Homo-oligomer: A and B are copies of this chain.
Amino acid sequence: MAKASAPSRDRIVAGAADLISRRGLNAASIRNLAKHAGAPLGSTYHYFPEGKQQLATEAVRYAGGAVTRILRKELRAGPVAGLRAFLALWRGIVVDSDFRAGCPVLAVSVEEPPADEIPPALIAAAEAYEDWEGLLAEALRDQGADPEQARGLAALVVASVEGAIAMCRAKRTMRPLDQVARQLEALIDGALDRPA
């Protein structure tokens, strides 16, 4: 074990992203989020004076940004390589957690916002989807896919992988993600075969 030290701001954000992906946002208090990150509540409020919504928003941005960076890097080798990296990332999270963790971006997406405001964490979730879809669509277009088809296929990739992660957690098997992976790979191959 490393010696006890003050947890960094980043470690609190990463811990919050993990807990939100397991439990959802509504059911996680700032106390739960701090504890899960191994951080005293005082340090957590020091870094996030606005409380839970501020921490949750940064957690969604952190998770969304981590996926965006991997996608951007791996898509340089083409859309199928990017898809495989996207799938491998989620597979690792679901398998390593024994089907207990998933996607924090989806977790905040499926929780009703207050009646009178759109919480910043929900806006951050929408932005994460946009970023992932934008990168996938760009990579498809760069390889000759029709622009409208590239956007539609990118949306299908993100939606089906997000849905498959949830199905894997309920079924306690990776089969849904495996099935979706095969379908998506064939679709991308097909989209690139078409004349631009």
Contacts and interface: CB of A to CB of B under 8 A. Distances in A.
B160 A156 contact: yes
Contact of A183 (B156, B170, B176): B156
Contact of A102 (B103, B110, B169): B110
A167 interface: yes
A10 B108 CA distance: 29
Given A23-B111, A107-B110, A126-B170, A159 B164 contact: yes
A122 interface: yes
A90 B94 CA distance: 26
Contacts of A75: none
A183 B153 CA distance: 7
Task: Among A26, A169, A180, find the residue whose CB has the most chain B CB atoms closer than 10 A.
Answer: A169
A80 B170 CA distance: 27
A70 interface: no
Interface in A80-125: 100-103, 105-113, 118, 122, 125
Contact of A159 (B26, B110, B160): B160
A182 to B, nearest CB: 6
A65 B39 CA distance: 44
Contact of A161 (B22, B163, B170, B175): B163
Interface in A120-168: 122, 125-126, 129-130, 151-153, 155-156, 158-167
Contact of A106 (B27, B100, B110, B175): B110
A121 B81 CA distance: 37
18 contacts: A22-B111, A26-B26, A27-B27, A103-B110, A105-B170, A109-B166, A110-B169, A122-B170, A126-B172, A129-B170, A129-B176, A152-B179, A152-B183, A155-B179, A156-B160, A156-B179, A156-B183, A161-B163
Interface in A12-35: 22-24, 26-27
